[in-house]
Structure 1
Amino acid sequence: MPNRSCSRDTRIIRIMPPLREEAESLCLGLMMGLVQPVEVISWADRAIAEMANPPIEVIDIATSTRQPSDELARLLKRVPGPANLTAAAHRVLGILRARLVAHDLALDFVVNSLWIFSIEATIPEVERRAASNFSDEYECLDYYGTAESLRDEVVRFLAEHTSEPDGIA
């Protein structure tokens, strides 16, 4: 009997999220100020180039180069297909976390982004309340707490709820 050795393929295969899920991540990122309109247009252009029959909703996005961010967000919400919207939301938190840890964002921007996240993201209610409470805590910094302690609390929240930002723009 011949000696058959098995070789293992150790390459990591990155599985892209469904198109609708990518669109949701971009939409949230756009509303939170983490993604720019040009990144959304580039994503749509790439998606069209990779697909034999791209959905008309993606074509609409690609041709909306002069639309304001809120209109692009509305168009992104219309992209069809299956999606884990909570996973999409958590990928956006991954971007927020990476930029906060790199000291690339001011605390007021992060708190405002989390407030928008709490309103727009499809997430469990407990997570929604926690994200929105940072806004109240920020407003009360003159009376109790410190900006550093609030920042640490935000970092802990993001670490708990973050997914890797693969597949965004």
Structure 2
Amino acid sequence: MTTARDIYITGLKNAHAMENQALAIMKPQLQRIESYPDVAERLSQHIAETEGQIERLDQLLDRAGTDRSGLKDTAMSIAGTMAALGHTIAPDEIVKNSFANYAFENFEIAAYKSLLALADEAGDEEAIALLETNLEEEIAMAEWLDENIEPLTLRFASLASMGADAKR
């Protein structure tokens, strides 16, 4: 029989892999940004937040007496790297990355909302604050992306119309 705790621990492992995937997506993007310093600054900040999220998930997994899933972490990191590479050939790479990042942030928000429900159901009240911190950081990043997609798109269009290398 599968218990709420079993499902919760699987969710923690999945979230750990998801955050490793997020790093594998964001780090190559950050290295390629040239014409959008505000995006680079916010992405750099969120990379640091994501590293903190992984540390919090590590704490929760350690407290639960279980290991991370090395296979999931590796597979999701590879998937993230491939996703990041996929947009490098697009002439509007920065815009495509913003779309993908916004979608991924909302995926993470849903994952943390689910984990919070599972932590409550499994009786892991101590996890709530850590998971809420992760959720708040994801919401803040999604909101920033939402607020900046139009200005970013217009900056891309302006640079492109002037003949500048606007893609990144």
Category of TM-score, reference length = shorter chain: 0.3 to 0.5
State the TM-score, normalized to the length of structure 1: 0.32
Q: Whose radius of gyration is greater, 1 or 2?
A: 1
State the TM-score, normalized to the length of structure 2: 0.32
